[in-house]
């Protein structure tokens, strides 16, 4: 049986995962992070992207996070996300609508969104599309 560690993934709205995992991959602001049981303690800011969990037994789960923090302790990994959603729950129609709104915001400087915010939304939506296609 593979070694495991406890993992919690929570957002401001809800708990998305609470269980044993064999491996976690996340996008930190300084690069990709791969966390195995026994990893050294770590605190990292997360950038928008996918958290890939390999659960006990080998099943995988993908969770999209908008941003947040990842903390690694001796036997526990905690992901505190600003907002997060399981890949299986993502709504493609809402993502397409958000994509169009973000494109309009990029081309129209008079909207409430700043250019940087609109570009960030476009990147996020592209990530979401990638998650849905996996």
Buried b (16+ CB within 10 A) or exposed e, 98-112: bbeebeebbeeeeee
Percent of the chain with pLDDT over 90: 51
Instruction: Give residue 130's pLDDT band: very low, low, confident or very high (50, 70, 90).
Output: low
pTM over 0.85: no
For residue 38, how many other CB atoms are within 10 A of its CB?
10
Q: Give the tens place of pLDDT for each residue, 76-99.
A: 999 999 888 888 776 666 666 666
Same domain, 65 and 118: no
Q: Are residues 82 and 95 in the same domain?
A: no
At residue 113, does pLDDT exceed 60? no
Query: Which among 88, 83, 86, 97 is positioned nearest to 133, based on CA atoms?
Result: 88
If one counts the domains in the chain, the total is 2
Q: Does position 75 have pLDDT exceeding 90, yes or no?
A: yes
Task: Name the least confident of 56-60, 85-89, 90-94, 109-113.
Answer: 109-113
Bridge partners of 70?
A: 44, 79
Q: Do 27 and 14 belong together in one domain?
A: yes
Which range of residues forms the domain containing residue 72?
Answer: 5-87
37 and 14 in a single domain? The answer is yes
Same domain, 98 and 75: no
Rounded Cα distance, 3 and 22, in Å: 6
Higher pLDDT, 3 or 126: 3
Give the CATH number of the domain where residue 80 resides.
2.60.15.10
The confidence score (pLDDT) of residue 108 equals 66
User: Which of 30-39, 86-95, 103-112 shows the lowest mean pLDDT across its residues?
Assistant: 103-112
């Amino acid at each position: 049986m593979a070694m495991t560690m406890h993992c919690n993934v929570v957002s401001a709205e809800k708990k998305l995962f609470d269980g044993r995992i064999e491996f976690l991959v996340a996008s930190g602001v300084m690069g990709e992070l791969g966390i195995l049981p026994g990893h050294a303690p770590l605190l990292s800011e997360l950038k928008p992207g996918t958290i890939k969990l390999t659960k006990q037994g080998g099943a995988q789960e993908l969770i999209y996070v908008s941003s947040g923090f990842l903390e690694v302790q001796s036997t526990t990994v905690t992901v505190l996300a600003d907002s997060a959603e399981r890949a299986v729950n993502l709504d493609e129609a809402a993502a397409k609508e958000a994509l169009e709104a973000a494109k309009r915001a990029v081309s129209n400087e008079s909207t409430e969104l700043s250019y940087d915010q609109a570009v960030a939304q476009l990147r996020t939506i592209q990530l979401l599309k990638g998650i849905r296609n996996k």
